[in-house]
Amino acid sequence: MSSFQPDEPVAHVDVHVEHLPGATLVRVAGELDHLTAPAFEAVALPAARACAERLVIDLSEVSFLASAGIAVVLAAGMAAPGRVHVVVGSGFTRRPLEITGADEIVRLRTTREEALAED
């Protein structure tokens, strides 16, 4: 019996939606690249469209953020009828979102608590 062992580890992402009072939280952990962005999109876009008040996308546990992941963040930001906050933590996810101008469409926040607080 044989099994496939890729030369490089396969990218992995976990996406979970939580409905909170006044907000929908989409938590993402792992790598967001061209391989995993479709899984993120399949969860984030329906959550964005169904969100009544505030959509919070928590990227604080994302270990790699490529342009495909940024594109999904922007698509969710444009699909949501309410405010959209993206939790970038203290890590490296903030800079690519700023460089691409995504911070003009979504609000970048350092913590989940800050993103969930009333404006």
State the pLDDT at residue 3: 47
CA 91, distance to chain mean position in Å, is 14
- Give me the pLDDT at residue 4, please: 42
CATH topology of domain 13-116: Transcription Regulator spoIIAA (3.30.750)
Q: Are 60 and 32 in contact (CB under 8 A)?
A: no
Mean pLDDT of the chain: 90
Residue 24 structure tokens: 């929908």
Position 70, amino acid:
I
Cα within 13 Å of Cα(89), Cβ side: 12
Give the tens place of pLDDT for each residue, 1-58: 444 444 555 578 999 999 999 999 999 999 999 999 999 999 999 999 998 789 999 9
Q: List the domain boundaries for the chain.
A: 13-116
Check: CB of residue 46 under 8 Å from CB of residue 16.
no
Provide Rg for the chain, Cα atoms: 15
In this predicted structure, what is the pLDDT of residue 67?
96
Q: Which residue has the tokens 């580890």?
A: 9
